[in-house]
Structure 1
Amino acid sequence: MNINYKTNGQDEFTHNIIPNETKLPKLPVPNLQHTLCRYLEALEPILSESQFNHTKSIVEQFGAENGSGEKLQQLILKRQEIYDNWAYNWWLDDMYLNNQAALPINSNPGMVWPPRNFSSLLDMAKFAARIVSSALICKNRIDKNELTIDTVKSDGKIQPLCMAQYGRIFTSYRAPGIPKDTLLKSETEYTKARPHIVVACKEYFYVVFLTKGKNAETLTENEIASQLFYILNENINQPKNKLPIGILTGLKRDSWAIIREQLLKDETNQRSMSFIEKSLFIICFDLEELELSFNSNCRVDSGGHRIAERDETNMAHQMLHGGGSFANSGNRWFDKTTQVHGANGLCYEHSPAEGIAIINIMETILNSCQNVENIIVETHLSIIPQKLTWVLNSDLEKQIYSSKEQFDKNIKDLDFYVFRFNEYGKNFIKSCNCSPDAYIQLALQLTYYKIYTKLCATYESASTRRFLLGRVDCIRAATLEALRWVAAMQTDFFQKHDVYSTSTFLNNSEVSIEKKLELFDKAIQKQTLIATENISGYGIDVHLLGLKQTAKDCLMCVDIFEDEAYSIANQFLLSTSQVTTGMNSFMGYGPVVPHGYGASYNLKDDYIIFCISSFYSSEITNTKKFTEFLRESLNSTRDLLVHRK
């Protein structure tokens, strides 16, 4: 059983490795028996007894001496010797590029920045110009490897983290394809010397070049602001584009891939598409919002959200999808890694980088945007922004109209809510000698259990950036220890509903506070242990994916991956992530499965920001109900720990 791996040891998208990163260790290959043991532990709380016993025998057979598991493990170890990161390509395909779901809502996160009021087009142009000029400075520092290396402290030692993700923020583009998408390196030697951005306004797209003259002299901030103001002023009183090309990027990926091929048959479209793909990033000026903010009549977008109000939930919807076809969804290009919105936030395509890299860069840029009043906007321009044009036949026009209808349906289905929990924050949790992240994960488990009287497969991202080209693995928070604790916390509930006797962990008597605390401590310890294993490169999900992919490459049929339990384990009905920001901002995303929840959280000293999402079309999920029970879970957990304090 042999596989011919690449001989150069490079992954497909490693152009941003910087010299000092070669000193980082390679991602380890976990011990097979350890992974299989943890896999069974993850399954036990979410399977029936008969399902678990069936799966246990399959797993034991897979891991037997000289079994198929050991043979696959040896092939992965050989791959590790050759590749910079043995799992990177497989993980990227599985997590993103093979996924044919539409990017907005299903994949791209949205970030809302701190409030900023724009009283005029000049204000918006100046603010955007500062973002562009600061982004150029960040891009230059990235190119010269001058960014301060991110680090973490572990066992008293400072460990550097892989910085490759930063290099992809301004140099990547996700192109739709069949059977899978492609993550392109969008930067060429020419665009590196003569960079440009693309500006979306009233669903038209403009190219703004950031250099001038034969020597490619970088534009001043005043010159950038003047070009942006030109675009704004040209469109403020104009109707929107009736045929917004950008709406097509919100389709399912295979559908968009077919339409894109049709578009690229025309040379004019090829040129316009190339400008968008090779841009540093996109600025989306949503004049619909600015115009409505000047009067008292607020319209409602496709999801039923008031367009001109700065409600945090409304803002999050704008960042995620643009509000629908008659709001701002056509004023987007969801394939591009970074889209900065004039409404003060962003949407980003997730495959090149994790949220922390995007947040760090964007907050660096925002910190430079405090004083923009001194920027001067000229009305006479030596350089005029280029408006991109498209050649559309009747079939492509029909596709655009059809895309509007489909996108609006998707938006109406999203049940998304920004929940600020103001009772306490990480200061209280730390005072209880708990990991704040583990604490929140247990609160989420308790919430799910309150609603469904069971646990589910739960995804929490764990960074593996301690290793070369590291991205994330999965912390599985639905542990047996968590199940025992949440069952204990719900004693009264079960007694009232006559189902408590089904619990195999406790008897029918009232569970003492001491016992609940004991179970809580064990659950916290297990959650912390699993998290530590993940960030140390010994998580189970990436390893299992590697074993599965190796078996596929060898044309082997392996029962462990055909087993129903593997599908259940990877149906993440709870998709969670701690998204930490330095500012009063937050990031959220949609569910990853039809009957699941998305739950991001941002822990501040004295409050916590949650972004909870589900789909209205699901008869099982309910964002409002989940939020109400989450508040209850956070308060009951606090009340429990106060007894010990």
Structure 2
Amino acid sequence: MYLGNPAPLPINSNPGMVFPPRKFTTVLDVSRFAARLLDAALSHKAVLDSRSLPTERATSREPGQPLCMSQYYRLLGVCRIPGKLRDSQYISSQPTVGEHPPEHVVVICRSQFYCVPVQAADRGRLNEDELCAQLLHILDDAPCLASPPPVGLLTSWRRPKWWEARETLRKEERNRRNLELIEHALLILCLDEPLPTTFNLRVQRGMKGHTAGGRDETNLALQMLHGGGSVHNSANRWFDKTIQLIISGDGACGLCYEHSPAEGVAVIQLVEQFLKHAESLPPTSEVPAACGSHLPPPERLEWILETEDHKRIEESALQLDNLIKDLDFQIYRYGGYGKEFIKSCHVSPDVYIQLALQLAYYKLNGRLTATYESASTRRFLLGRVDCIRSATPEALEWVAAMAQPKEGDELGNKKVTFQLVSDEVKLELWNNAVKEQTKEMVDNILGQGIDIHLLGLREAAKETSPTAASPLPEMFTDESYRIANRFLLSTSQVATTTDSFMGYGPVDPDGYGASYNPKPNSIVFCLSAFWSSETTSTTRFAQALEESLNSMQTFLAKPRQNSN
């Protein structure tokens, strides 16, 4: 359904991922690290081309079942193409075994686009030194040039608007070739300038996390998510591209990825493989020998623009800047405990955190809401995700009991001298909520969820019932169906093996986005909302999460203490 959504890609669709920051002292360090990431990407592409990517298998819930690997083949050489009514995808063709077709990447530096051939039919693949030399040339060339028209901003526009602008650009042969080079590239490498330390400045709650150049990790995440706006790095992007690796001179690095071809798990595994390759090699300050080689410099892409094109760029910049100003986003590292304590309670960390999110939302709103959590359906051919609906009746009973006042609490001017729900009852309600949440999770990953089935029926009905004389079935126009599919809490677990994390924007103007990454002794949350909403606040939500997680630990520690 991504391709049918006309909303701008930044914040609304594309997630951003922060890698552990690097320590760069020279521009050579930047180019060397970037070259190693590109080298890893080329190695991975060779594995894909040889069709030798091993099949993954489920590790739990009927372990051993093979998982569909199709998403891994839709990450490199893939791009989303805007459409008037619906977008499409460019997916590079699979070469025959033994064939090594030409490959290139596009590097964006100071809004300048460069095409870097990384594999040629006549000379094979560039090595790390050669890649490093090409990147050094770009880092030396781009600062000397006048600022180009920020064409990349057009990819942040609403999709029909971007389609219209792209159609106009394509009338010029040079622009048409530029677009093809960008869209057919293996990936995009964005060489950024650091965001100011004051960008989105706010008091950080929870543990201190990554820093780079004096910037906190919320600042770093915003750079990956949207680039910081038209005056910073947002023109240094092509938001349609599936993989955009991002590196800035202060050591910040990460990823922005277009969501339609694949889910986060496949993307995370890919880029963490790149990182492990880069980190496995010893540091070096040697200037690459290829600097004096016969390789031609990268081709800088130049655009032919009319007055109408410039106006469209200005409009897209204004829309993106307003969207960025409205984003309420923060990284919250909860340091009270992590998945080690949760596992000691004999509960799945995912189930536990989902119930914590329900409790936090209830504390703020006095009710639950339709909640989306992605559940992988890769046990099925071409499977993507279904929806784990965490707002169950059992969860509601438990959070209502947990949120009720207890002895010693103050209500108005009076102290509560009684406990409405005993700890024994709360524990029973907790066990019921855990059992139901676990069942919901297992049902979804085994193909017994409801949302994808209903979505398929609805889309099929649209194709056969497009007129008033033949309307959609009442089920899909009923108010209850609309409410059930308005996800004011959009969540997902995005676990990583490195100290990286991934976040995204909310899917509703009055909703929250909440990704989480459970670590052994902490939990990293990426929380998002919109300032324009009168009902949401990531600051209040982070506080409610902290209170919920603390109270859950106290509550669950009691039975174990009593048993001792």
What is the TM-score with the length of structure 2 in the denominator? Answer: 0.90
State whether residues 150 and 163 of structure 1, in contact with CA within 8 Å, keep that contact through their aligned partners in structure 2: yes
Letter in 1 for 2:525: F
Match of 2:113 among 180, 205, 208: 205
Letter in 2 for 1:379: C
State whether residues 300 and 307 of structure 1, in contact with CA within 8 Å, keep that contact through their aligned partners in structure 2: no
State whether residues 186 and 277 of structure 1, in contact with CA within 8 Å, keep that contact through their aligned partners in structure 2: no
1:376 Cα offset (Å): 4.1
What residue is the counterpart of 2:462 in the other structure? 552
Separation (CA, whole Å) in 1 of partners of 2:411 and 2:163: 51
SS at match of 1:419: strand
Asked if residue 107 in structure 1 is aligned to residue 13 in structure 2, the reply is: yes
What residue is the counterpart of 1:316 in the other structure? 221
State whether residues 304 and 412 of structure 1, in contact with CA within 8 Å, keep that contact through their aligned partners in structure 2: no
Decide whether aligned partners of structure 1 residues 423 and 304 sit closer, same or farther in structure 2, where only a CA change above 3 A counts.
Answer: closer
State whether residues 197 and 215 of structure 2, in contact with CA within 8 Å, keep that contact through their aligned partners in structure 1: no
What residue is the counterpart of 1:403 in the other structure? 316
Asked if residue 444 in structure 1 is aligned to residue 357 in structure 2, the reply is: yes
Separation (CA, whole Å) in 1 of partners of 2:353 and 2:147: 44
Residue by residue over 1:111-150, the C-alpha shift from the partner in whole angstroms, topping out at 9 and shown as x without a partner, is 0001212111100110011011111001111222222322
State whether residues 307 and 314 of structure 1, in contact with CA within 8 Å, keep that contact through their aligned partners in structure 2: no
What residue is the counterpart of 1:34 in the other structure? none
SS at match of 1:460: strand
TM superposition outliers: structure 1 runs of 4+ over 4 Å: 187-192, 298-301, 303-308, 493-498
Separation (CA, whole Å) in 2 of partners of 1:393 and 1:304: 38
What residue is the counterpart of 2:423 in the other structure? 513
Unaligned runs of 5+ in 2: 203-210, 413-417, 466-470
Match of 1:335 among 240, 245, 265: 240
1:238 Cα offset (Å): 4.5
1:551 Cα offset (Å): 2.4
SS at match of 2:551: helix
SS at match of 1:159: coil
What residue is the counterpart of 2:142 in the other structure? 235
Separation (CA, whole Å) in 2 of partners of 1:550 and 1:403: 34
State whether residues 345 and 556 of structure 2, in contact with CA within 8 Å, keep that contact through their aligned partners in structure 1: yes
Separation (CA, whole Å) in 2 of partners of 1:100 and 1:496: 49
Match of 1:360 among 269, 291, 294: 269
Separation (CA, whole Å) in 2 of partners of 1:449 and 1:493: 17
Asked if residue 434 in structure 1 is aligned to residue 351 in structure 2, the reply is: no
What residue is the counterpart of 1:412 in the other structure? 325
SS at match of 2:458: helix
1:368 Cα offset (Å): 1.0
What residue is the counterpart of 1:386 in the other structure? 299
Aligned positions, number: 531
State whether residues 203 and 331 of structure 1, in contact with CA within 8 Å, keep that contact through their aligned partners in structure 2: yes
SS at match of 2:482: helix
Asked if residue 174 in structure 1 is aligned to residue 89 in structure 2, the reply is: no
Separation (CA, whole Å) in 1 of partners of 2:144 and 2:65: 54
State whether residues 176 and 256 of structure 1, in contact with CA within 8 Å, keep that contact through their aligned partners in structure 2: yes
Separation (CA, whole Å) in 2 of partners of 1:240 and 1:640: 59
Letter in 2 for 1:201: C
Separation (CA, whole Å) in 2 of partners of 1:131 and 1:606: 30
1:3-22 alignment, distance < 5 Å: none
What residue is the counterpart of 2:124 in the other structure? 217
Asked if residue 373 in structure 1 is aligned to residue 283 in structure 2, the reply is: yes
Separation (CA, whole Å) in 2 of partners of 1:221 and 1:252: 38
Decide whether aligned partners of structure 1 residues 366 and 619 sit closer, same or farther in structure 2, where only a CA change above 3 A counts.
Answer: same
What residue is the counterpart of 1:637 in the other structure? 552
State whether residues 106 and 592 of structure 1, in contact with CA within 8 Å, keep that contact through their aligned partners in structure 2: yes
1:497 Cα offset (Å): 6.5
What residue is the counterpart of 1:46 in the other structure? none
State whether residues 173 and 186 of structure 1, in contact with CA within 8 Å, keep that contact through their aligned partners in structure 2: no
Separation (CA, whole Å) in 2 of partners of 1:387 and 1:309: 33
SS at match of 2:13: coil
SS at match of 1:473: strand
What residue is the counterpart of 1:132 in the other structure? 38
What residue is the counterpart of 1:563 in the other structure? 478
SS at match of 2:487: coil
1:380 Cα offset (Å): 2.8
SS at match of 2:405: helix
Residue by residue over 1:504-523, the C-alpha shift from the partner in whole angstroms, topping out at 9 and shown as x without a partner, is xxxx9610011111001100
Residue by residue over 1:395-436, the C-alpha shift from the partner in whole angstroms, topping out at 9 and shown as x without a partner, is 111111222221111111111100111110011001001111
1:300 Cα offset (Å): 4.2
Separation (CA, whole Å) in 1 of partners of 2:227 and 2:61: 45
Separation (CA, whole Å) in 1 of partners of 2:145 and 2:431: 62
1:217 Cα offset (Å): 1.4
Match of 2:181 among 271, 275, 282: 275
State whether residues 152 and 160 of structure 1, in contact with CA within 8 Å, keep that contact through their aligned partners in structure 2: yes
1:392 Cα offset (Å): 0.3
Asked if residue 347 in structure 1 is aligned to residue 256 in structure 2, the reply is: yes
Match of 1:196 among 104, 107, 112: 104
Unaligned runs of 5+ in 1: 1-93, 293-297, 499-507
What is the TM-score with the length of structure 1 in the denominator? Answer: 0.79
Separation (CA, whole Å) in 2 of partners of 1:392 and 1:307: 37
Letter in 1 for 2:292: H
1:27-42 alignment, distance < 5 Å: none
Residue by residue over 1:51-96, the C-alpha shift from the partner in whole angstroms, topping out at 9 and shown as x without a partner, is xxxxxxxxxxxxxxxxxxxxxxxxxxxxxxxxxxxxxxxxxxx2x0
Asked if residue 583 in structure 1 is aligned to residue 498 in structure 2, the reply is: yes
RMSD of Structure 2 on Structure 1 (CA): 2.1
Letter in 1 for 2:258: E
1:192 Cα offset (Å): 6.0
Asked if residue 594 in structure 1 is aligned to residue 519 in structure 2, the reply is: no
State whether residues 172 and 187 of structure 1, in contact with CA within 8 Å, keep that contact through their aligned partners in structure 2: no
Separation (CA, whole Å) in 1 of partners of 2:153 and 2:217: 24
What residue is the counterpart of 1:527 in the other structure? 437
SS at match of 1:149: coil
Separation (CA, whole Å) in 2 of partners of 1:414 and 1:308: 23
State whether residues 107 and 590 of structure 1, in contact with CA within 8 Å, keep that contact through their aligned partners in structure 2: yes
Separation (CA, whole Å) in 2 of partners of 1:325 and 1:215: 40
What residue is the counterpart of 1:491 in the other structure? 404
Separation (CA, whole Å) in 1 of partners of 2:282 and 2:183: 29
SS at match of 1:379: helix
1:307 Cα offset (Å): 9.4
SS at match of 1:151: coil
State whether residues 188 and 241 of structure 2, in contact with CA within 8 Å, keep that contact through their aligned partners in structure 1: yes
Residue by residue over 1:569-622, the C-alpha shift from the partner in whole angstroms, topping out at 9 and shown as x without a partner, is 111000000001000000000001110000000011111100000000111110
SS at match of 1:158: coil
